[in-house]
């Protein structure tokens, strides 16, 4: 039997409009025509990433219809982090600053990570950690901290 292929991340969100504003500000191309909604509001958006991976957002109402075990989270954030690769080290700092200026909290200020990338983490409207990471530069690598 072949191994399954991870090809989609689906986030259930409390407020679709706020979520879409955050990810658009982050730089994702989310055309309005890709938003599925009804009279009660937006319920599903699928974003095809350049890598072929799909990032989807669903409303809590929609999730309760396709997942009989779904229940609202006790906390707003889980224990996973999505990371978006930027084009440059400067882009990490610029996107981080832009998201903070729009009122989104920083979980990790930009810094030079030991693996050679510029790295920062912000929180999306549901408290999910969203990493921003530049390509790794071998000249900037260092030993990891003691674990």
CATH code of the domain covering residue 6: 3.10.180.10
Q: Report which of 19, 112, 1 is spatially closest to residue 60, judged by C-alpha positions.
A: 19
Burial code of 116-131, b = ≥16 C-beta within 10 A, e = fewer? bbbbbbbbbbbebbbb
The residue segments making up the domain with residue 95 are 76-147
Confidence of residue 68 (pLDDT cuts 50, 70, 90): confident
pLDDT score of 12 more than 80: yes
- 141 shares a domain with 88: yes
- 102 shares a domain with 42: no
For the ranges 17-31, 60-74, 105-119, 132-146, the lowest mean pLDDT is seen at 60-74
For the ranges 25-34, 66-75, 100-109, the lowest mean pLDDT is seen at 66-75
Instruction: Out of 24, 45, 72, pick the residue that ends a domain.
Output: 72
Q: What are the tens digits of pLDDT across the range 87-130?
A: 999 999 999 999 999 999 999 999 999 999 999 999 999 989 99
């Amino acid at each position: 039997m072949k191994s399954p292929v991870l090809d989609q991340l689906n986030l259930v969100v409390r407020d679709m409009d706020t979520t879409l504003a955050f990810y658009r500000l982050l730089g994702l191309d989310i055309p309005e025509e890709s938003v599925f909604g009804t009279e009660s509001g937006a319920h599903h958006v699928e974003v095809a990433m350049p890598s072929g991976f799909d990032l989807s957002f669903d409303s809590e109402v929609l999730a309760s219809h396709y997942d009989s075990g779904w229940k609202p989270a006790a906390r707003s954030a889980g224990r996973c982090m999505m990371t978006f690769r930027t084009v440059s080290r400067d882009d990490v700092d610029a996107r981080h600053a832009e998201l903070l200026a729009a009122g989104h909290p920083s979980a990790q200020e930009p810094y030079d990570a030991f693996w050679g990338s510029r790295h920062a983490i912000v929180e999306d409207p549901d408290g999910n950690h969203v990493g921003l990471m530049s390509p790794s530069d071998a000249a900037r690598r260092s030993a990891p901290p003691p674990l």
